[in-house]
A and B are shown apart, each in its own frame.
Chain A
């Protein structure tokens, strides 16, 4: 069975501080990992996916198959980063298994 775990429900940091949102997964095959973000009053949208190896809005995430992790990182948090972040895994087709999400609050 596939599972995604985000251990923190809430992460509160000050502007300019580094951010790391944790994500661990369980999957027997070769997964595709994603981070989705939901800003206040907006729909859920893709932030980044591991296959692209890109940095979006200063965020990066590295897939560590040994530790089965896909942590999301940003060196300097901005107030506009405040949002709900979901780690997701795709084991097949375009279906997603989501973690329960981490609320990131960035204070001035």
Chain B
């Protein structure tokens, strides 16, 4: 069974631009979460989607947004990029959206803002 797939793997953008990252969950998984990983802050939760609905949102500015499609694929968008947005963005999928479920992670998209 294919794992969580994130595209692109690497991205370089200029300050002020916007970017869209994509995540394809494991087949049958309906919950998709996004995390930002930086050396200073570690792994921080961005948002979680289940059946096309955002169920939970982390403490990030409104420039960070996401959506989930009917096939459970998800995208996240960052507008007006700042240098501090440079990070590894991880997507995780889960079979169901319950507390004890295992999250399966993708390999991430490395975003560099210059």
Contacts and interface: CB of A to CB of B under 8 A. Distances in A.
Interface of A: 32, 43-46, 49, 51, 86, 90-101
Given A43-B107, A45-B105, A96-B33, A91 B99 contact: yes
A40 B80 CA distance: 33
A88 to B, nearest CB: 8
Contacts of A86: 42-43
Given A43-B3, A44-B90, A96 B42 contact: no
A51 B33 contact: no
B91 to A, nearest CB: 10
Interface of B: 3-4, 31, 33, 35, 42-45, 48, 50, 55-56, 58, 90, 92, 94, 96-108
Given A44-B90, A95-B48, A90 B99 contact: yes
Contact of A94 (B48, B58, B105): B48
Q: Is the interface of A mostly helix, strand, loop or mixed?
A: strand
A47 to B, nearest CB: 10
Contacts of A93: 31, 48, 50, 55-56, 97-99
B68 to A, nearest CB: 13
A47 B50 CA distance: 24
A46 B56 CA distance: 21
Nearest to B44: A98
Given A94-B33, A95-B45, A99-B42, A51 B100 contact: yes
A95 B35 CA distance: 10
17 contacts: A32-B100, A43-B106, A44-B90, A46-B103, A90-B99, A93-B31, A93-B48, A93-B97, A93-B98, A94-B99, A94-B101, A96-B33, A96-B43, A97-B45, A98-B42, A100-B42, A101-B42
